[in-house]
Structures are given as structure tokens and as C-alpha cells.
């Protein structure tokens, strides 16, 4: 268990309350937690999985392999029935499952891992080669991770993007989003859409709906953490060109995601362009096949028109943040709780 906060006395009180019910052992300042390495520096906290990534290279005999600059070959289209079936599919499933866990601190491989994970049922040789290429990329980027800096301006920004019919097997599109808090990425996802859309505009619309759902959840999470919230909204959704909207968008999630009027307004030339551009990922990502590289900022919507959906807000950061502490939790004890 990790306990963190900006008040040492409150942290101590919480540990004491938990120790009444559970056997607790204080391990001090956090350094490693479930394979996640956390380093403290003057810049902030840096989270990585360097040791875990190195163990994957040794486990799958990739320690001497050649490094790759990108996690996936550009314009690669994997077919579900092309190539020779693998004799042992368990090794492929173990590799993909391990890569999924690595995405905890590596957002830039989310798309590539999502693609290879679609062939778990009947993996073939090209699928294994694509997964092994991700490991070759990881070998050359072992020091990559997420850096969380101290910042006075706590702003949650959302970015979303989508391709159109990127999966040649079933013509489904892929959605991607990520959310920043001003210093680093805190939430991201790359996922194949569960419906077939008829235009790139509809694909963007579905992706924006998924990002909106995550935004609402993050908003409520921060409210539960007793953070003051400023409901300023700045949203920008893709680039809707003239002539691409040939009929009203008939998407089931349209009622939840209130972007339709602004998409149509931009299509009619009435929506001003927002020149502000803040890339959410702070690393040098050059992979052309990564879905999240486009990083389009989520259309500016008046606060009064959308009281239930917001994608950006401000909250004050702790004045004196303290180091998180690591605590191990064991089985409950029979100690009675003494309220005094």
C-alpha cells in the first residue's frame, strides 16, 4: 500500500488507524512497488519499469537482439489468417501479457501492444514477429518512463484521436486518448472500436465519446480527493474538413457526447480555430505508427451549455508535498478497535 499526502500528521494518523485492523510494517520512502521503480530527484518523481523490461528481454531470449527505433513497422497491417500458425501459442500470450503490464509507464507502446493483443486466439508467425519488435524497441529505450514534476498550475488536459478502418480484418477503427495534469500523462488508452463506422468523422466522434467518459471519471476522482475544481473547458476535436459530413451523425453515444453542434459549426465555417497546441506526451516520440502521436487537443465549449461534461479544469497543488511512503499490508488481526 502506498500512502502519500502533504500533511505528515494526517499520514501518521491514517497509518495508526489502519494498524488497528491490520498488521502493518512501515517500509519507509517508496522505491519499488509491484515492479514499478520510483526515483525522487530535484525535478520530481520519475516512474519507470527498467528492471522489469530487462527481465522480459532475458525471459524471451531477446537480450542480444538488435534495437529498433519504433515499436511497430510503419504502415504494417497484420492479417489474422496470414502466416504459419505457432506451435506453442502460450509463449506468444505470455509475451503480450507482459507487454501489457509494461504499458503502465510506457504510453508510446500502447497502440502497438493493442494491435498484437488482438491475435491471442490463433497467433501466427507475423504476429510473434510484431510482438518481438516491440521488445527490440524497449531494449533501446530502457530508461524511458514518466516524470511527474511539481507544478503550481494543476490543469487536466485531454487529447483524442482515431484512425478510420485501420483494421483490415474487420474494418474497425481504433480510438486513442490521453490525459495530462500539466506535468505528465496520468491516463491513456488505445482501443479498437466495437462498431463499424462509415466515415472518419464518425470514428473521431466515437473516440471523443470514449475520452469524454474517461474525463468524467477523472473529474469525479479528483473531486473525491477534495481538490478544488475550476470548470474552464478547452476542447478541440480533430480537423473536420468541408464536405466530409454528408449527413447528421447517427451514433448511439451522441446524447452523451455533446460535440455534434460544434462539429457541424466547424464544418460550416463558424467555429474559430484554436491556435493553442500543447502536446501531451513529453518524450521524443518519432514512431509514425503510434496512434497517440497526433495528439489533437479535445473543441471549446461554453461552460453553461455543458454543465455535466468538462475536459479541463484547474486545481491548486499541495503547497508542501511530501514523499510517498510504502506500507505493506497483511491479513486482518483480531485487535478490537478502540475509538478512544
Q: Per residue in 43-66, pLDDT tens?
A: 888 999 999 999 999 999 999 999
pLDDT at 94 over 60: yes
pLDDT given for residue 128 in this prediction: 96
Listed in sequence order, the residues at least 6 apart from 339 whose beta carbon sits closer than 8 Å to its beta carbon are: none
Which of 8-22, 249-263, 289-303 is predicted least confidently? 289-303
pLDDT at 195 over 50: yes
Which of 111-115, 146-150, 243-247 is predicted least confidently? 243-247
Q: What is the DSSP string of 170-232?
A: T---EEEEEEE-SSSEEEEEEEE-SS--SSHHHHHHHHHHHHHHHHHHHHHHHHHTT---B--
- pLDDT over 90 for what percent of the chain? 42
| Better-predicted residue by pLDDT, 54 or 216 | 54
Mean pLDDT of 298-316: 32
pLDDT at 118 over 90: yes
| Better-predicted residue by pLDDT, 190 or 333 | 190
Q: Is the dihedral of CA 250, 251, 255, 260 positive or negative?
A: negative
CA dist 62 and 69 (Å) reads 16
pLDDT given for residue 330 in this prediction: 41
Q: Is the dihedral of CA 224, 225, 227, 230 positive or negative?
A: negative
Residue the block writes with cell 495508526: 16
Phi, psi of 177, deg, nearest 5: -150, 160
CA dist 273 and 297 (Å) reads 11
Which of 10-14, 102-106, 154-158 is predicted least confidently? 154-158
**Measuring CA to CA, which residue among 233, 214, 243 is closest to residue 274?**
233
Other CB atoms within 10 Å distance of the CB of residue 119 = 24
24: three-class secondary structure by DSSP: strand
119-145 residue pLDDT tens: 999 999 999 999 999 999 999 999 999
Which of 149-153, 249-253, 333-337 is predicted least confidently? 249-253
Which of 38-52, 68-82, 245-259 is predicted least confidently? 245-259
pLDDT given for residue 30 in this prediction: 86
Cell of 205: 466522434
Mean pLDDT of 245-271: 41
The chain-wide mean pLDDT, for the chain, equals: 73
Listed in sequence order, the residues at least 6 apart from 111 whose beta carbon sits closer than 8 Å to its beta carbon are: 72, 174, 176, 190, 289, 290, 291, 292
pLDDT given for residue 225 in this prediction: 73
155: three-class secondary structure by DSSP: strand
- pLDDT over 70 for what percent of the chain? 66
pLDDT given for residue 113 in this prediction: 96
| Better-predicted residue by pLDDT, 186 or 292 | 186
pLDDT at 226 over 60: yes
pLDDT given for residue 155 in this prediction: 79
Which of 21-30, 123-132, 221-230 is predicted least confidently? 221-230
pLDDT at 337 over 90: no
Listed in sequence order, the residues at least 6 apart from 209 whose beta carbon sits closer than 8 Å to its beta carbon are: 251, 253, 256, 257
pLDDT at 303 over 90: no
Other CB atoms within 10 Å distance of the CB of residue 114 = 20
Mean pLDDT of 32-44: 89
Mean pLDDT of 219-226: 79
pLDDT given for residue 189 in this prediction: 93
pLDDT given for residue 152 in this prediction: 72
Total-model pTM: 0.67
| Better-predicted residue by pLDDT, 314 or 122 | 122
Amino acid at each position: 500500500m502506498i500512502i502519500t499526502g502533504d500533511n505528515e500528521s494526517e499520514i501518521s494518523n491514517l497509518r495508526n488507524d489502519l494498524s488497528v485492523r491490520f498488521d502493518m510494517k512501515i517500509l519507509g520512502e517508496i522505491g519499488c512497488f509491484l515492479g514499478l521503480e520510483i526515483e525522487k530527484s530535484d525535478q520530481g518523481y520519475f516512474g519507470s519499469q527498467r528492471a522489469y523490461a530487462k527481465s522480459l528481454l532475458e525471459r524471451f531470449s531477446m537480450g542480444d537482439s538488435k534495437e529498433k527505433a519504433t515499436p511497430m513497422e510503419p504502415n504494417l497491417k497484420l492479417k489474422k489468417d496470414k502466416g504459419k500458425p505457432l506451435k506453442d501459442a502460450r509463449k506468444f500470450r505470455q509475451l503480450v501479457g507482459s507487454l501489457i503490464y509494461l504499458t503502465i509507464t510506457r504510453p508510446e507502446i500502447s497502440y502497438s501492444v493493442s494491435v498484437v493483443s488482438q491475435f491471442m486466439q490463433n497467433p501466427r508467425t507475423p504476429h510473434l514477429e510484431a510482438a518481438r519488435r516491440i521488445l527490440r524497441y524497449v531494449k533501446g529505450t530502457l530508461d524511458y518512463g514518466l516524470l511527474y514534476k511539481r507544478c503550481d498550475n494543476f490543469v487536466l488536459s485531454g487529447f483524442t484521436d482515431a484512425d478510420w478502418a485501420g483494421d483490415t480484418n474487420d474494418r474497425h477503427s481504433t480510438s486513442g486518448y490521453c490525459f495530462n495534469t500539466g506535468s505528465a500523462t496520468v491516463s491513456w488508452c488505445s482501443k479498437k472500436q466495437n462498431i463499424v463506422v462509415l466515415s472518419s468523422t464518425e470514428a473521431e466522434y466515437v473516440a471523443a465519446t470514449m475520452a469524454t467518459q474517461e474525463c468524467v471519471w477523472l473529474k469525479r476522482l479528483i473531486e473525491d480527493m477534495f481538490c478544488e475544481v475550476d470548470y474552464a473547458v478547452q476542447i478541440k476535436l480533430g480537423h473536420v474538413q468541408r464536405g466530409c459530413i454528408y449527413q447528421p451523425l447517427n451514433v448511439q453515444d451522441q446524447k452523451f457526447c455533446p460535440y455534434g453542434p460544434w462539429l457541424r459549426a466547424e464544418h460550416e465555417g463558424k467555429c474559430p480555430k484554436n491556435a493553442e497546441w500543447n502536446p501531451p506526451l513529453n518524450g521524443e516520440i518519432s514512431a509514425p505508427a503510434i496512434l497517440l502521436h497526433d495528439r489533437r487537443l479535445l473543441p471549446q465549449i461554453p461552460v453553461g451549455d455543458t454543465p455535466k461534461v468538462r475536459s479541463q479544469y484547474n486545481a491548486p497543488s499541495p503547497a508542501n508535498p511530501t514523499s510517498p511512503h510504502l506500507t505493506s499490508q497483511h491479513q486482518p488481526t483480531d485487535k478490537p478497535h478502540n475509538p478512544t
